[in-house]
């Protein structure tokens, strides 16, 4: 594929050029390159990757682990699947670079249960990389750098994509989020320092080592560097997986995908705010409209209360039930949406539920309950005209 303007991921690269460049550097220099690039994690939270790697590198332990989060459970997200199937070498290269940087000897690829069909393919690439000397002992001729990668399957729970629940699941426990601190960079898999990174983050890190932090920084905007993959679905002419420089406006993105007539867009999937047309000048970036990459487009025929109902049903099903705000709150939010649809929700009750939603954002233990009210609140606040138009408030 020819290099395209604004593309970091979807370009042809010399195989293993990132790893070869990394192995010519010290571990500290590799981490410095990633830090200088300004790369932020592509799994949703946007944590600076170089900082995470540095913390794990600095932790003292007999063993350390690199975990690739390939659970990809956010509704409307499917960009990691493309990387897992078509950029497999680049991902394994990124994991190996991360292993070298933090001093780990083992990488674990936690693969979404529904992606079982990709397992054979990934294993065959792992085997080939062994024969090529890019996995196993003394990788790339670097004496003493031994690293191997294993695949572990997820079992279909969305919450297992949360990094501490993922680690619990890897250890054979029920997949429930842990209290933090301690953070996985100190106490992760098997109690050892562990970095958990998204698939796209690791592929991007390999690109940065190949082409340099300065090259990477020419893409994107001030506090959000580089490009990003987007899984685009819903009411648009050209759904699919796209790569855009970070900082593209929502209007610009909709123009590219044939969604100019949209009434609203969920830029962070079911966990993000639903953005109405009046705000389409916002940029899609960590500082403005953050996203893990799921872009769901809603046309004018969509009923926004149907959207809220659909998202909340998902969260009610997927809540692990460990903490009260999320376990009890999501069903109450869902019930309020049903009342609104029936025209049976008083303004007073709606205000109480909004306040409950805000409490959930603050008091839930993990990102699931902290973010599940986002879509509900934005729909109630931004589409009041639509909701009030149909609901006789008592």
Ligand X SMILES: Cc1cc2nc3c(=O)[nH]c(=O)nc-3n(C[C@H](O)[C@H](O)[C@H](O)COP(=O)(O)O)c2cc1C
Binding site for ligand X (CB under 6 A): 41-45, 47, 69, 71-74, 158-159, 161-163, 196-198, 201, 366-368
Task: Report, in Å, the least distance between residue 71 CB and ligand X.
Answer: 4
Q: Which is nearer to ligand SF4, 99 or 268 (CB)?
A: 268
Q: Does 332 bind ligand SF4 (CB under 6 A)?
A: no
How far, CA to CA in Å, does 131 sit from each of 125, 144, 145, 171? 10, 18, 16, 29
Q: Which residues pair with 233 in a beta bridge?
A: 296
From the list 209, 262, 186, the residue with the least C-alpha distance to 17 is 209
Contact between 175 and 182 under an 8 Å Cβ cutoff? The reply is: no
Task: Report, in Å, the least distance between residue 182 CB and ligand SF4.
Answer: 17
Stretch that binds ligand SF4, among 44-52, 266-274, 299-307, 361-369 (CB under 6 A): 361-369
Cβ neighbours of residue 31 closer than 8 Å, sequence gap 6 or more: 50, 53, 54, 57, 101
How far, CA to CA in Å, does 281 sit from each of 102, 231, 251, 256? 40, 20, 6, 14
How many residues make contact with ligand SF4 (CB under 6 A)? 14
Q: Which entry of ligand X, ligand SF4, none binds 168, CB below 5 to 8 A by partner kind? A: none
Restricted to residues 168-207, the positions that interact with ligand SF4 (CB under 6 A) are 177
The angle formed by the CA atoms of residues 272, 163 and 286, to the nearest 5 degrees, is 35
Stretch that binds ligand SF4, among 9-17, 249-257, 319-327, 342-350 (CB under 6 A): 319-327
Q: Which entry of ligand X, ligand SF4, none binds 374, CB below 5 to 8 A by partner kind? A: none
Q: Which is nearer to ligand SF4, 109 or 165 (CB)?
A: 165
Q: Which is nearer to ligand X, 72 or 382 (CB)?
A: 72
Q: Is residue 385 packed enough to be buried (19+ CB in 10 Å), middle (13-18) or exposed (0-12)?
A: exposed
From the list 313, 285, 92, the residue with the least C-alpha distance to 199 is 92
Cβ neighbours of residue 132 closer than 8 Å, sequence gap 6 or more: none
Q: Which is nearer to ligand SF4, 207 or 365 (CB)?
A: 365
Task: Report, in Å, the least distance between residue 357 CB and ligand SF4.
Answer: 13
**Interacting residues toward ligand SF4 by CB under 6 A:** 159, 177, 319-323, 326-327, 364-366, 368-369
């Amino acid at each position: 594929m020819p290099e395209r303007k604004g593309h970091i991921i979807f370009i042809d690269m010399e195989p293993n050029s990132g790893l070869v460049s990394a192995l010519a550097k010290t571990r500290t220099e590799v981490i410095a390159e990633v830090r200088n690039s300004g790369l932020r994690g592509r799994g949703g939270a946007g944590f600076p990757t170089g900082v995470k790697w540095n913390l794990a590198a600095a932790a003292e332990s007999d063993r350390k682990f690199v975990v690739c989060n390939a659970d990809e459970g956010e509704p409307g997200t499917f960009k990691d699947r493309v990387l897992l199937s078509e950029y497999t070498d680049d991902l394994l290269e990124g994991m190996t670079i991360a292993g070298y940087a933090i001093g780990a000897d083992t990488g674990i690829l936690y693969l979404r249960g529904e992606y079982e069909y990709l397992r054979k393919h990934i294993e065959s690439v792992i085997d080939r990389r062994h024969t090529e000397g890019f996995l196993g002992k003394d990788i790339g001729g670097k004496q003493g750098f031994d690293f191997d990668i294993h695949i572990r399957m997820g079992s279909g729970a969305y919450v297992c994509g949360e990094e501490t629940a993922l680690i619990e699941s890897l250890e054979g426990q029920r997949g429930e989020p842990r209290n933090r601190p301690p953070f996985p960079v100190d106490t992760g898999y098997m109690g050892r320092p562990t970095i958990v990174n998204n698939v796209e983050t690791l592929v991007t890190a390999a690109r940065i080592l190949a082409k340099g932090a300065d090259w990477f920084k020419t893409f994107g905007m001030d506090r959000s560097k580089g490009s990003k993959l987007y899984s685009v679905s819903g009411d648009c002419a050209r759904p699919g997986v796209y790569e855009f420089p970070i900082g593209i406006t929502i209007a610009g993105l909709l123009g590219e995908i044939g969604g100019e007539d949209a009434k609203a867009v969920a830029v962070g999937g079911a966990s993000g705010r639903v953005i109405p047309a009046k705000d389409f000048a916002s940029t899609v970036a960590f500082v403005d409209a953050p996203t893990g990459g799921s872009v769901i487009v809603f046309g004018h025929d969509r009923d926004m209360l149907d959207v809220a109902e659909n998202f909340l049903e998902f969260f009610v099903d997927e809540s692990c039930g460990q903490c009260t705000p999320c376990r009890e709150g999501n069903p109450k939010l869902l019930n309020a949406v049903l009342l609104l649809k029936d025209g049976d929700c008083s303004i007073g009750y709606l205000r109480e539920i909004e306040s409950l939603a805000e409490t959930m954002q603050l008091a839930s233990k993990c990102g699931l309950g902290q973010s599940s009210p986002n879509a509900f609140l934005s729909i109630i606040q931004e589409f009041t005209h639509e909701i009030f138009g149909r609901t006789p408030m008592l």
